[in-house]
Chain A
């Protein structure tokens, strides 16, 4: 009991530390928000008036979300390597606590981004979501999955050179099950299908989230301590 509570406490401290550090420079926040807004404007500017169907609009939304995540979420570990603070971090907290803290930060960042970007997308595209509850749930589940994959891959690429290019290349194949189900589910939610029909997508997203999160927690120690 005590060991678990200290683990979660330490994870919370890591999260707070990253939050403070982030607001000092605002590097990741700037990168991810500006990238998302730019992409959104490019997309809506180029195809906005065409009046596309939900089948096209839901993949576009997820492409924006995926590449925005790729633009900023690697910073969480790359920063530690660039500022050479990772060794200190290794001393003060166990690997699991660090992963949990960093994951929480990335998840909060990505969901915070979506709170801004998704309504903007709906406005720009003149899109009416007929099943808002299902829509929100699928975006929430999908982004939890994306942020999990992004966090573990960020930990891997922070040790390599050519980080920026590698991050998207390594993340994409692993994110693909999330993207496929999320795109499918989002399209159904926009079209106003009932929750029952989207159950399959929820199940896959949830199952994948559990599997990839568990694998990441187990494997993180091997990345962090070499």
Chain B
């Protein structure tokens, strides 16, 4: 029943799989090394998309939280919490890949760069969100309170992105895509692979999100059946 209602999803899975293979090949074979860096610059094809997905998952979670507060459908809570769980995973991936790159280029795994600070805050918010969920027994209360917290946290994030870099000096590469400096600009092939990777990781995110939502739905249905019997 869960599978048959969306036959296009099979096509989507195959498409994502093939697309990601091309992204991986492209990032290693097609894109040239960035000037001034050794091969480490290739981390941009994985680190940035993963960080992008972490923020996107957070946005999706906040949108479904707002929907939950408006309509009070448990379905929306499943989407919000599943997306938050994925966001947590991708935020960890972004932290680890960034930290490894920082060790190579800046000489240390961690130096409280503003971007590092904001990803840590994102991790803390996700962790707090799940700590809150695990501390409440009733399903409705859990859904409602975590939705409120998710929105509150989402209101805070823009301040973190604008405030922290203003106060602390950053070494993190700033915006190499839209910059006007010709030297810092991405070359066309790097740019193509970069955007392909961004798109690919977004598809992967959607794929895992659907899986996670299905699992949560089945779990919920099982608890409902247990309650009845």
B75-102 toward A: CB 8 Å interface, digit per residue (1/0)?
A: 0000000000000000000000000000
Known: A160-B145, A169-B131. A216 touches B152 (CB 8 A): yes
- In the complex, which residues 135-169 of chain B have their Cβ closer than 8 Å to any Cβ of chain A? 135-137, 140-141, 144-145, 147-149, 151-153, 155-156, 159-160, 163-164, 166-167
From residue B67, how far is it (CB to closest CB) to chain A in Å? 13
Q: Across the interface, do A172 and B136 meet the contact criterion of CB distance under 8 Å?
A: no
| CA gap between A156 and B145 in the complex, in Å | 6
Q: Does B124 reach chain A (CB closer than 8 Å)?
A: yes
Q: Does A174 contact B (CB under 8 A)?
A: yes
Q: Are A180 and B152 in contact (CB under 8 A)?
A: no
Candidates B144, B145, B152, B166; contact of A200 at CB < 8 Å: B166
Contact of A161 among B135, B163, B166 (CB under 8 A): B135
**A180-B156 Cα distance, complex, nearest whole Å:** 13
Q: Do A160 and B155 touch (CB < 8 A)?
A: no
Contact partner of B136 among A160, A176, A212, A215, CB < 8 A?
A160
Task: Establish whether residues A223 and B144, one from each chain, have CB atoms under 8 Å apart when the complex forms.
Answer: yes
CB distance from A109 to the nearest CB of B (A): 21
From B69, B124, B166, contact of A173 by CB (8 A):
B124
Contact, CB under 8 Å: B144 / A177: no
**Min distance, Cβ B73 to any Cβ of chain A, angstroms:** 14
Which residue of the partner chain, among A170, A177, A181, A215, contacts B128 with CB atoms under 8 Å? A170
Q: For the complex, count residues of B whose C-beta is within 8 A of A.
A: 29
Q: Is chain A's interface secondary structure helix, strand, loop, or mixed overall?
A: helix
Within 8 Å of chain A (Cβ to Cβ): is B125? Answer: yes
Picked from A159, A176, A181, A204, the residue with its CB within 8 Å of the CB of B156 is A176
- Range for the number of chain A residues in contact with chain B: 20 to 34
Which residues in B have their C-beta under 8 angstroms from that of A1?
Answer: none
B138 CB, nearest partner CB in chain A, Å: 8
Q: Is the CB of A215 within 8 A of B124?
A: no
Q: Does A226 sit at the interface, judged by CB under 8 A? A: yes
* Cβ of B127 under 8 Å from chain A: yes
Apart from A166-B131, A169-B127, A172-B128, list 4 A-B contacts with CB within 8 A.
Answer: A157-B132, A160-B132, A169-B124, A170-B149
Ordered nearest first, which 9 A-B pairs have the shortest CB separation? A177-B159, A160-B135, A173-B125, A173-B124, A170-B128, A219-B148, A160-B136, A215-B155, A169-B128
